[in-house]
Chains A and B, each alone.
Chain A
Amino acid sequence: MQLIDKNLIAKKRSGRLTLNNAMKWIFFLCTMVGLIVLVTLIVDTLMDAVGYLNMDFLTNFSSSRVESAGFYGAIIGSLWLMLVTVPVAIFLSVATALYLEEYAPKNKVTDFIKINISNLAGVPSVVFGLLGLAIFVRAMAMGNSVLAAGLTLALMILPVIVVSSQEAIRSVPSTVREASIGMGATKWQTVSRIILPAAIPGIITGIILAISRAIGETAPLVVIGVPTTLLVTPDGLLDSFQAMPMQIYAWIKMPQEEFQYLAAAGIIVLLAILILMNSVAIFIRNKFSRRY
């Protein structure tokens, strides 16, 4: 007796194949939506910016006159900001992720903390600005300095890096962990020599996402009171500074049309610096990529 109707199978086959093909195109179109929006944005911005992107723009300080207004202070200020944010955020997040995944006892408290770290990623950035204002700017009397803003942004991107690092650490096979521990290696030796190198690609992916968010973040800087007009670059961590997103925001608010083009030029510079920073991260990631 035949349980399976071969004719039915033949009839259904073309439908299955059509769906298979259709799904590929649906996914392709979805990818294109994002891509087209991105290209449109960049081309549109680039068209506005093109006349203003020159050496003067890169080397002049901000000014109320369009002819002499530049991005120099903002570029240097943002680089200072990242100098604080990136190392602080990476250190705190990776250490947190390692503790939660490798050291913390597996119990309800740990689970509760893990869930809340993910929730923290959803807190609006302006709230982190308020936190920074209350703690770093006021209580710890850092003022609207590089340090205060850098720490605030570090706290803001912390959850993103923690969650992606946790994911990366968890994906290291437990068999290699056992191999290391079984040889008399200490936990720290296992973590530093086996787990971290294997988890680095995943951790860096999180870092890239987090830096991309931090460098363009405006709201917390507004709350902290980062100035939009400043004619010096910071000499130290406790100096006041300008930041690229703040400068762009300030220009966009200006009534004269020319300032919109300056803002566009600023956006292009910001994106270029971001791509540069991310390429370094991707380079490191590729160096550590290993197969299992």
Chain B
Amino acid sequence: MVNIMEANTITKNPGTAVLEDRAQAGTQETAERIPVFKTNNFNLWYGDNHALQDINLRFNQNEVSAIIGPSGCGKSTFVKALNRMVELVPIVRTEGEILYRDQDIFNRKMTVEELRTKVGMVFQKPNPFPKSIYDNVAYGPRVHGIRKKKVLDEVVEKSLRDAAIWDEVKDRLNENAYGLSGGQQQRICIARALATEPDVILMDEPTSALDPISTTKVEDLMHELKKNYSIIVVTHNMQQAARVSDTTAFFYQGYVVEHDDTKVIFGNPRDQRTEDYVSGRFG
């Protein structure tokens, strides 16, 4: 354990360097990988607690990027930093850059409202509004000023279809979303996030409160959604990361230990700690 912690301070992000190298090398596979998010020496403190340390990562368009790591490693904090939700905690302080499509999200030119419209979020626990299914999904477009009933109807149907729940709820759109099961509620929340047509969807352990069947549905959904969206998903579940993601970042005690293509992380990781974690030896 002591060795692991010492090693932390020496090799921080070998994996990121690999991804960058490949992108720069311009091979056929990596040439078309367009980054949606890049972080440059991003640091975050909760009061005196240095929760995220020198994070250098990139996440690509039309990919599912997984973030794994043991509890308390900062993975949820990191993903909430990407749409600045972490600032709801008053004692948070940040340093360094997060670039969304090459624009610094902390720059005054980009308002949080604009950022969060483009970078949607699905939360750990299903959190529908105490409103009808329709009103839940139409909420995003409505707050952005879309009033036309016809447009809203179409957006609601498309979002529910994309979230693979349309057939289950199409006959009861006016019922309260609280009457649905947990798995259905979570897919309503995904539909709600899709309805604003975001560019990136952040998912913070989206299946941790769901049963296995609902989990499978949400995982299949991620596969489908990456055709049109970029997904960054935090997960506790290593099998899930292996199944759904294209790249995986392994967080440990506030550092990124390794970030690489998922098959490398799970097949042939460079760092001993990554190997220990993904093979279930600690965590």
Residues of A within 8 A of B (CB): 105-106, 173, 175-176, 178-186, 189, 193-194, 197-198, 290-292
Within 8 A of A (CB), among B172-221: 176, 178, 189, 192-193, 196
Contacts of A178 in B (CB 8 A): 85, 88, 123, 127
B83 close to chain A: CB less than 8 A:
yes
Q: How far is the CA of A197 from the CA of B132 in the complex (A)?
A: 13
Chain A nearest CB from B199 CB (Å) reads 12
Within 8 A of A (CB), among B119-147: 120-121, 123, 125, 127-130, 139-140, 143-144
Chain A nearest CB from B194 CB (Å) reads 11
Q: How far is the CA of A153 from the CA of B116 in the complex (A)?
A: 44
| 7 CB < 8 A contacts A-B | A176-B127, A179-B129, A181-B88, A184-B115, A186-B143, A290-B176, A291-B130
Q: B143 touching A185 by the CB < 8 A rule?
A: yes
Q: B130 touching A182 by the CB < 8 A rule?
A: no
- Considering only CB atoms, which chain A residue lies closest to B141 in the complex? A183
B153 close to chain A: CB less than 8 A:
no
Q: How far is the CA of A233 from the CA of B83 in the complex (A)?
A: 60
Q: How far is the CA of A185 from the CA of B139 in the complex (A)?
A: 9
Q: A105-B90, A178-B85, A291-B130 are in contact. Are A184 and B114 (CB under 8 A)?
A: yes
Contacts of B83 in A (CB 8 A): 182
Q: B140 touching A183 by the CB < 8 A rule?
A: yes
Contacts of A197 in B (CB 8 A): 130
Q: A182 touching B143 by the CB < 8 A rule?
A: no
B154 close to chain A: CB less than 8 A:
no
Contacts of B88 in A (CB 8 A): 178, 181
Contacts of A186 in B (CB 8 A): 113, 143
Q: A183 touching B143 by the CB < 8 A rule?
A: yes
B117 close to chain A: CB less than 8 A:
yes
Q: How far is the CA of A27 from the CA of B274 in the complex (A)?
A: 60
Q: B130 touching A292 by the CB < 8 A rule?
A: yes
Which single member of B90, B116, B125, B129 contacts A182 (CB below 8 Å)? B116
Q: B143 touching A184 by the CB < 8 A rule?
A: yes
Q: A173 touching B193 by the CB < 8 A rule?
A: no
Contact with A along B76-97 (1 / 0, CB 8 A): 0000000101001010000000
Chain A nearest CB from B267 CB (Å) reads 34
Which single member of A106, A184, A292 contacts B116 (CB below 8 Å)? A184
Q: B130 touching A193 by the CB < 8 A rule?
A: no
Q: A106 touching B85 by the CB < 8 A rule?
A: no
Q: How far is the CA of A173 from the CA of B130 in the complex (A)?
A: 11
Q: How far is the CA of A178 from the CA of B122 in the complex (A)?
A: 10
Chain B nearest CB from A280 CB (Å) reads 23
Q: A183-B116, A183-B117 are in contact. Are A175 and B130 (CB under 8 A)?
A: no
Q: A184 touching B129 by the CB < 8 A rule?
A: no
Please name the 4 residue pairs, one residue from A and one from B, whose CB atoms are nearest each other, closest first: A184-B117, A175-B127, A290-B130, A184-B116
Chain A nearest CB from B143 CB (Å) reads 4
Q: A194 touching B196 by the CB < 8 A rule?
A: no
Which single member of B127, B144, B178 contacts A184 (CB below 8 Å)? B144
Which single member of B125, B143, B144 contacts A193 (CB below 8 Å)? B143
Q: B127 touching A185 by the CB < 8 A rule?
A: no
Q: How far is the CA of A80 from the CA of B235 in the complex (A)?
A: 61
Contacts of B117 in A (CB 8 A): 183-184
Contacts of A194 in B (CB 8 A): 129
Q: A106 touching B143 by the CB < 8 A rule?
A: no
Contacts of B192 in A (CB 8 A): 179, 183
Contacts of A184 in B (CB 8 A): 113-118, 140, 143-144, 196
Q: A179 touching B189 by the CB < 8 A rule?
A: yes
Contacts of A176 in B (CB 8 A): 127-130
Contacts of A106 in B (CB 8 A): 90
Contacts of A189 in B (CB 8 A): 143
Q: A173 touching B127 by the CB < 8 A rule?
A: yes
Q: B125 touching A175 by the CB < 8 A rule?
A: yes
Q: A182 touching B178 by the CB < 8 A rule?
A: no
Q: How far is the CA of A173 from the CA of B178 in the complex (A)?
A: 14
Chain B nearest CB from A101 CB (Å) reads 14
Q: How far is the CA of A291 from the CA of B129 in the complex (A)?
A: 10
Contacts of B189 in A (CB 8 A): 179
Q: How far is the CA of A189 from the CA of B115 in the complex (A)?
A: 16
